[in-house]
Structure 1
Amino acid sequence: MTKITFVQPDGVRVETEAQNGATVMETAIMNGVPGIIGECGGACTCATCHVYVDDSWTETVGGPSMMEEDMLDFAFDVKEASRLSCQIKVRDELEGLVVHVPGRQG
């Protein structure tokens, strides 16, 4: 299991354990993380699973695909660290990953 921490807008940290091969969005939904909606179920068509990857994890997580960049246009308050959590696959290298949940989705 891979530990992922979701930081809420008010600073509250929600620590989860993720199954390798799942997505960060699936992990959030299965653990009831507030603020991650995932309306499209992970199809990269809604931007309601928007997160900010913590600066210390940007390089390890990597950047968005072209399709994801297009979908991020529909997210609220997009920043350099913005990603759709449905597009981040959990793997061993992400042990300890920290992502920040925006104040609101799309």
Structure 2
Amino acid sequence: MPTVLLDDLADVRAGDKGDALMLAVFPRDPADVDLLTSRLTEEVVARHFGTAVTGPVTRTVLPRLPALVFAIPGVLAGGVTGSTVLDGHGKTLSYHLLTVELTI
């Protein structure tokens, strides 16, 4: 099956809510929102971030924007005020999500 990188289809913005990384995925072409909705699932994102995820990944689809918002618990290792990592907000982790390969 052919694959495509998420980076070829979308942009990602990152934020944080405590220990949870929040990633908003915005398709560059609104025609790709159905592909992203069907292929970029909670399971795909959880698997991509691996053992850093400490609970269920949740996804909210915002069709009127269009966007998909993921909450990924645990990957910020304590959050902005509790983590000793340099990227407590998780901004660089948005680039990690862009390396997901999606089947098309």
TM-score (norm 2): 0.33
Which one has the bigger strand percentage? 2
TM-score (norm 1): 0.32
Larger Rg: 2
